[in-house]
Structure 1
Amino acid sequence: MGNLFGLSRRRFLQLCVASPLLLTAASACGRKKDFSLGVYQHPGHEAFYISDHFNLLPDNVMLRKSQSAEVIVSAMLAGELDAATLALDEVLTCLAADIPLQVILILSRSCGANVLLSRPELTSAAQLKGKIIALESRAVSELLLEHYLQKSGLQRQDIEVAYLPQLKQLMAWENGQIDAAINTPPVSHYIERTGAKRLFDSSQCPALMFQVLAVRTDRVNLLSDIPALLLNSYYLGLDHLRLFSGDSLRRTAFWRNLTLSETTNYFASVQYPGLAQNIALLSESDALHKAMQQLIRFMPAAAQPKIYSPALFDTAALRQLVLN
Structure 2
Amino acid sequence: MPKPPYIIFYDSSNLDIFLNHICNLEFIPGALSRLVAISFDTPSHLILKEKYPNIPSVVINLDSIKKTLPESYENRRYIIYQLVLLTRARICASLALRGISFWAMQQDTLWVENFDSMDLENRYPDEYMLFDTVGNEQFGEYDRMFGWICGSTFFVRGNPTTYQFFYQIDSFMRSHQSPDSSIMTYLCGHRNYRCHRLPRWIISSSDYFRGTRETTPVMIQVDSDQTDETKMESFQRANFIFRHDNGTCDRKSVHKLRDAVRLAFPEKLKLLDQSPYGESMFTQLHYMYKHIFNIDRYNNKVFLTVHYTLV
TM-score range, shorter chain: under 0.3
Is the strand fraction higher in 1 or 2?
1
